[in-house]
Chains A and B, each alone.
Chain A
Amino acid sequence: KAGVTQTPRYLIKTRGQQVTLSCSPISGHRSVSWYQQTPGQGLQFLFEYFSETQRNKGNFPGRFSGRQFSNSRSEMNVSTLELGDSALYLCASSAGQDNNEQFFGPGTRLTVL
């Protein structure tokens, strides 16, 4: 069974631009969570989607948004990029409604110049 895939793996943007990251969950998984990892703040939860509905959201500004499609694939968008948005963005999928056994993708490394 294929694992969680994320595209692109690496991305370089400049301040003020926007970016869209994509995540394809494991086949059959309906929950997708997104995390941001930085050296200073560690791994922080962004949001979670289940069956196209956002069920949970972390403490990030409105510039961070996401969505989930009917095939469970998910995208996250960051608008008006700031230098501090440089991070590894990870998505994870899980099978059930309340299943915290999450399978993580390799991440997208975003650099904002």
Chain B
Amino acid sequence: DAKTTQPPSMDCAEGRAANLPCNHSTISGNEYVYWYRQIHSQGPQYIIHGLKNNETNEMASLIITEDRKSSTLILPHATLRDTAVYYCIAAGGTSYGKLTFGQGTILTVHP
């Protein structure tokens, strides 16, 4: 699986958009970009994933650059409950259930 790079920490004001970047310059053509988050002491939670088109669901939006070397997870209106560690993961059809978690980005949402 391709290696991903994320900033170690970010801050965001409550109600504002949180934009979390991720670099995955060695991503292969059949690998998707997945985002998970982990709130303290809980299991990770799936957020969204995409291949090359932008994606949106009820939780977030995912913007993938045209060359697929980087992406941005957008939480449109961050709340205090969005404070968590966010993981960007590249994984493909041959990952067979293996998600390679890096150190992630600690997002802190302030009142």
Binding site for B on A (CB under 8 A): 4, 31-33, 35, 42-45, 48-50, 55-56, 58, 90, 92, 94, 98, 100-107
> A105 to B103, Cβ gap below 8 A?
no
- B98: which A residues are within 8 A, CB to CB? 33, 45, 48, 56, 58
> B101 to A33, Cβ gap below 8 A?
no
Interface size on B, residues (CB 8 A): 23
- B99: which A residues are within 8 A, CB to CB? 33, 35, 43, 45, 92, 100, 102
The reply on B88 being an interface residue by CB < 8 A is no
Interface of B is mostly: loop
- B49: which A residues are within 8 A, CB to CB? 100-101
Say which one of B17-25, B40-48, B65-73 lies at the interface with A. Answer: B40-48
Nearest residue, chain A, Cβ from B93: A98
> A48 to B96, Cβ gap below 8 A?
yes
Interface of A is mostly: strand
The reply on B86 being an interface residue by CB < 8 A is no
Nearest Cβ in chain B — how far from A36, in angstroms? 11
Cα of A100 to Cα of B99 in the assembled complex, Å = 7
Cα of A105 to Cα of B41 in the assembled complex, Å = 11
> A100 to B97, Cβ gap below 8 A?
yes
- A101: which B residues are within 8 A, CB to CB? 34, 46, 49
5 shortest interchain CB distances as A-B pairs:
A48-B97, A104-B43, A43-B101, A56-B96, A98-B93
B44, B45, B96, B101 pick with most chain A CB within 10 angstroms: B96
Known: A42-B102, A100-B49. A94 touches B42 (CB 8 A): no
Cα of A32 to Cα of B101 in the assembled complex, Å = 17
